[in-house]
């Protein structure tokens, strides 16, 4: 790498976008902390210990309705916004943007790979692969991107596949074979959990490396990969239309979207809760499974939009400028703080750390997530008072340009 230092001024940042990144990271740390940062199967016996704990039951409902599956989409949206900002802010004579962005994705994949073998919940490697589609779809007009974004955000490919299988199922397995497969899966899942909780550093790295195939299968068959690309495209649209630069004039649209998504989510959640407490699962008609999947997709998608519009409106208020400033500290170092969250979780809950997975109730883990986030605010504020970039952002940027970037203020 060239040791020459670049001293050009930093490009203008949008405070609201940094604040939203910070907000997304709060949701992400809470989602991961509630599962002891296991990022996978947790044995039923671990959950059963806390099934009569009222606080943990309440937190579990909060997680299901407000957190789980909503903040990786929020973060994905902001990744798309960042791409659009980089593209629109490039110099007129910059003819290497696509090549440079591809190289950034390669570097991100390397960071994600290292992160994954330490913590299998990593999303950076997925972003690196899905990010290629941003370059491809960037050549499409906004109307086409809008249609694709809606279809992918709603997980349409998987909805269609599952609906087809509902009416044209594969040949059913015998009860004996199904039982054997379930027992094998349970043994394997319990073994993996115990490795994470009590295993050595090398044992955990080995297991996480082997889990690449499972992760790819999950991302594809659950549709998370499609949904991620969908929110990338939604962010690309927002960046193209300079939504956050013109937020003041677009506030009426944001308010309408906020109330519409709120009403939709109240209706969907009320429907699911009513059915859960009144109708046994086995008595539900066959078509309801497909309908429930569609409603869940709409719920996850619109809940993300609710957060995006709601927090944008709040953070744009004069009375919330202090909150925006604190969230922006974390948002400016989003990559570093994302990796820092999992590092703290690994050291607390994994075998080569304190091995505390399952030892604390989900309610206390919720509190822990908030404490970690508050600590990150203080850390980020101090760091940015000394340096221009977060440490991982600086390395990523330096490697992108093959030149050491100016770091010290």
Q: End-to-end CA distance of the chain, in Å? A: 22
Integer angstrom CA distances of residue 49 from 199, 357, 361:
22, 13, 8
- Mean pLDDT, residues 184-203: 91
> Mean of the pLDDT values across residues 14-40?
95
Mean pLDDT, the chain, integer? 91
Give the CA diameter of the chain. 70
For 149, the enclosing helix (H) or strand (E) is helix 142-153
**Which pairs count as long-range contacts for 98-101, CB under 8 Å and 24+ apart, including other chains?**
98/135, 100/400, 101/131, 101/134, 101/135
Q: Which two tokens stand for residue 300?
A: 């996850």
At 273-310, the pLDDT tens digits run 888 788 777 777 877 888 888 999 999 999 999 999 99
* Dihedral angle sign, alpha carbons of residues 78, 22, 382, 345: negative
Q: How far is residue 84 CA from its own chain's centroid?
A: 19
- Answer yes or no: is pLDDT of 1 > 60: no
Predicted model pTM? 0.91
Specify the range with the lowest mean pLDDT, choosing from 124-133, 144-153, 271-280: 271-280
Least Cα distance to 284 among 296, 297, 274 occurs for: 274
pLDDT of residue 9: 38
Residue 4 has pLDDT above 70, yes or no: no
- What is the distance between the alpha carbons of residues 89 and 243, in angstroms, rounded to a whole number? 15
What CA–CA distance (Å, rounded) separates 294 from 163? 10
pLDDT at 135: 93
In the beta sheet, which residues pair with residue 2? 403
pLDDT at 12: 59
Q: Is the pLDDT of residue 168 over 60?
A: yes
Does residue 70 contact residue 231 with C-beta atoms inside 8 Å?
no
Residue 191 pLDDT > 70, yes or no?
yes
């Amino acid at each position: 790498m060239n040791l020459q230092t670049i001293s050009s001024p930093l490009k203008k940042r949008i405070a609201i976008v940094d604040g939203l990144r910070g907000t997304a990271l709060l949701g992400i740390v809470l989602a991961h902390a509630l599962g002891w940062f296991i990022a996978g199967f947790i044995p039923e016996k671990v959950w059963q210990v806390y099934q009569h704990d009222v606080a943990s039951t309440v937190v579990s409902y909060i997680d299901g309705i407000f957190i789980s599956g909503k903040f990786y989409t929020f973060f994905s949206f902001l990744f798309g916004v960042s791409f659009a900002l980089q593209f629109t802010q490039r110099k007129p004579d910059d003819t290497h943007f696509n090549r440079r962005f591809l190289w950034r994705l390669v570097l991100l994949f390397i960071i994600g790979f290292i992160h994954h073998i330490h913590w299998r919940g990593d999303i950076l490697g997925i972003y690196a692969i899905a990010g290629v589609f941003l370059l491809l779809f960037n050549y499409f007009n906004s109307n086409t991107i809008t249609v694709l974004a809606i279809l992918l955000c709603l997980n349409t490919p998987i909805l269609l596949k599952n609906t087809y299988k509902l009416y044209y199922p594969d040949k059913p397995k015998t009860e004996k074979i199904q039982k054997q497969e379930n027992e094998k899966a349970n043994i394997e899942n319990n073994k993996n959990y115990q490795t994470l909780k009590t295993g050595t550093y090398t044992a955990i790295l080995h297991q996480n490396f082997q889990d690449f195939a499972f992760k790819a299968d999950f991302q594809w068959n659950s549709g998370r990969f499609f949904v991620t690309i969908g929110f990338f495209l939604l962010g690309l649209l927002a960046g193209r239309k300079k939504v956050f630069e013109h937020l003041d004039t677009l506030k009426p649209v944001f308010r309408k979207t906020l109330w519409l998504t709120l009403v939709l989510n109240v209706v969907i959640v009320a429907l699911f809760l009513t059915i859960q407490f009144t109708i046994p699962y086995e008595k539900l008609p066959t078509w309801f499974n497909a309908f429930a999947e569609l409603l869940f997709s709409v719920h996850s998608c619109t809940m993300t939009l609710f957060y995006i519009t709601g927090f944008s409106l709040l953070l744009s208020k004069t009375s919330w400028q202090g909150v925006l400033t604190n969230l922006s500290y974390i948002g400016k170092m989003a990559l570093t703080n994302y990796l820092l969250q999992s590092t703290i979780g690994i050291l607390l809950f994994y075998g080569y750390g304190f091995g505390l997975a399952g030892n604390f109730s989900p309610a206390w883990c919720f509190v822990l997530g908030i404490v970690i986030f508050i600590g990150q605010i203080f850390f980020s504020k101090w760091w940015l008072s000394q340096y221009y970039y977060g440490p991982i952002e600086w390395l990523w940027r330096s490697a992108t340009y093959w030149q050491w970037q100016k770091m010290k203020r």
